[in-house]
Amino acid sequence: MSIIKKRITSTVEDSKQVVVNNIRNERIKNQVMQFRRFPKGSRSQAMVEFALISTVAMIVLLVSVQIAMIVGDAVDLGHMNYQGARWAAVNACATPAQVLQYILSVGSPTVTQSGGSCGTQLSMTLTDSNGGPTKYTGTTCTTPTVVTGCANPRVFGTAVKITLSFDASKAIFLYGAGGATNKPWMGLINFPTTLASTESAMAE
């Protein structure tokens, strides 16, 4: 009986030791896995990667905003030119100065008020049955008085051609070297500083 008891006691002790060893091995394994998952210096590496990615993302965002502003001005310029050509065709006695005044009165403020005052960044070239092309500038953004009678109206059925030129340098906020808008930003990207639009209509 004593021999059996000793054997049972020895088996129990061995089982306890096995359990203790398994628990210890499991803890060591978890520590090793945690060390592999978060190696030394991983947080610093993540911060460096985030800094690089965020810098690139910020550059892309700024360039996208700048391009959107320029494209918006180009679209507005086209709308202004279309309305101006149509108005000049309908109002055959309107002078070129009145045509430009009308264009400035209906145009988008981002174009007409660029630079802080009306029309300083915009010029118009007009060609019609009375001559041209002739370049005109103006600084009045109020609606002109429609002329109903004149000595030399535009001839019915002839083309009225208007070309608008807009200095977009004031719309650029990503400057090149030395703060110049005509130099590439960061030495990489050139933004257009002049926008142009041409429209034609038939005099009525």
Each residue's pLDDT tens digit, 40-87:
556 778 888 888 899 999 999 999 999 999 999 999 999 999 999 999
The Cβ of residue 112 has, within 10 Å, a number of other Cβ atoms equal to 23
pLDDT of 174-187, one tens digit each? 887 667 777 788 88
Do 134 and 87 lie in a common domain? yes
Instruction: Give residue 9's pLDDT.
Output: 56
Do 15 and 85 lie in a common domain? no
Domain contains 18: yes
Do 133 and 184 lie in a common domain? yes
Number of domains in the chain: 2
Instruction: Give residue 87's pLDDT.
Output: 95
Domain contains 144: yes
Do 194 and 130 lie in a common domain? yes
Domain contains 49: no
Do 76 and 121 lie in a common domain? yes
Domain contains 65: no
Domain contains 123: yes
Model-level pTM greater than 0.85?
no
CA 194, 195, 200, 204 torsion-angle sign = negative
Domain contains 50: no
Range of the domain at 11: 1-37
Do 182 and 89 lie in a common domain? yes
Instruction: Give residue 13's pLDDT.
Output: 61
Domain contains 43: no
Do 126 and 188 lie in a common domain? yes
Using DSSP, state whether 150 is helix, strand or coil. Answer: coil
**CA end-to-end span of the chain:** 128
Domain contains 171: yes
**Cβ atoms of 161 and 200 closer than 8 Å:** yes
